[in-house]
Amino acid sequence: MSDTITLTLKVWRQRSADDAGHFEIYKAKDINVNMSFLEMLDVVNDTLTLNNQMPIAFDHDCREGICGSCGAMVNGVAHGPVSAVTLCQLHMRSFSDGDTIVIEPFRAKSLPIIQDLVIDRTAFDRIIAKGGYISVKTGSAPEANDTPIKKTNSDSAFDAAACIGCSACVAACPNASASLFVAAKVSHLALLPQGSTERKRVLNMVDQMDAEGFGGCSNAYQCEAACPKQIKVENIARMNREYTKQKLSR
């Protein structure tokens, strides 16, 4: 088997939020199968730059599957055909020589396109600002054993905290719902005693999610399937319970 492949890329190009946008076709020649998807785009951009063409704009930062910056629809699937990986962790060995790959940005009204594959995720930041924090006394760290936490709670909180805010859940959802993202942020704090003081955060965060124009959850489960960190939809049920409790307590 050859270590290199040649691909046809059908890439969404959009100069700005006001541009209608369109697909352009490029040849990606002699791509090493051990490259990541973003490294492949780097090679394509080098060729475009040498030919005095505008390179493809895409978000990236750590390239280690942690930051949540990168993301695109690859042949209609958020982050591509391999489950539980981000776009930067998707390797070209997942494709075959001669394949045509359609690459377009995550699409949602609440996550507008800035340029090409780059989207505006500041709606997520505004949701976090409404309640993604806890109030604790400053000073030396308390003794860990002073606050016993059930193993099941700590495990569930850790799993929810793994969310990197990449917005693949929104892109995959038929309703463009951000419920899985918000639920993960609510859950990892609500499950721990340190986060109990601001349990009302769920009201502010859900209200902000609605104000941003995200759709509602209809249990399509596409969010869980698309999530690179495998956040479970059970967190949405927990968020709904938290929301109901806080609403009734008011």
- Report the percent of the chain where pLDDT is more than 90: 88
Contacts (Cβ under 8 Å, ≥6 apart) of 114: 16, 17, 57, 120
Both tokens assigned to 164: 């990197």
Are 131 and 241 contained in the same domain?
yes
Check residue 170 and report its DSSP letter: H
pLDDT of residue 139: 77
What range does the domain containing 72 cover?
4-114
> How many domains does the structure of the chain reveal?
2
Say yes or no: 126 and 108 in one domain. Answer: no
Q: Are residues 220 and 189 in the same domain?
A: yes
Distance CA(13)–CA(74), nearest Å, equals: 14
Check residues 34 and 138 and name the one with the higher pLDDT.
34
- Tell whether the model's pLDDT for residue 25 goes beyond 90: yes
Task: Please give the average per-residue pLDDT across 110-138, as a whole number.
Answer: 92
Residues 195, 77, single domain; the answer is no
| 170 lies in the same domain as 140 | yes
Residues 126 and 242 reside in one and the same domain = yes
Indicate the residue among 61, 88, 114 that finishes a domain. 114
Same domain, 131 and 94: no
Among candidates 72, 59, 63, which has minimal Cα distance to 168? 72
- What per-residue confidence (pLDDT) applies to 67? 96
Query: What is the chain's mean pLDDT, rounded?
Result: 94
**3-state secondary structure (DSSP) of residue 234:** helix
Residue 241 Cα distances to 180, 183, 187, 203, angstroms: 14, 11, 11, 11
The torsion angles phi and psi of 75, rounded to 5 degrees, stand at 50, 40
pLDDT at 145: 75
> Do 171 and 96 share a structural domain?
no
Q: What is the pTM of this model?
A: 0.93
Asked if residue 148 and residue 45 are part of one domain, the reply reads: no
177: domain CATH number is: 1.10.1060.10
CA-wise closest residue to 107 among 191, 24, 232, 17: 17
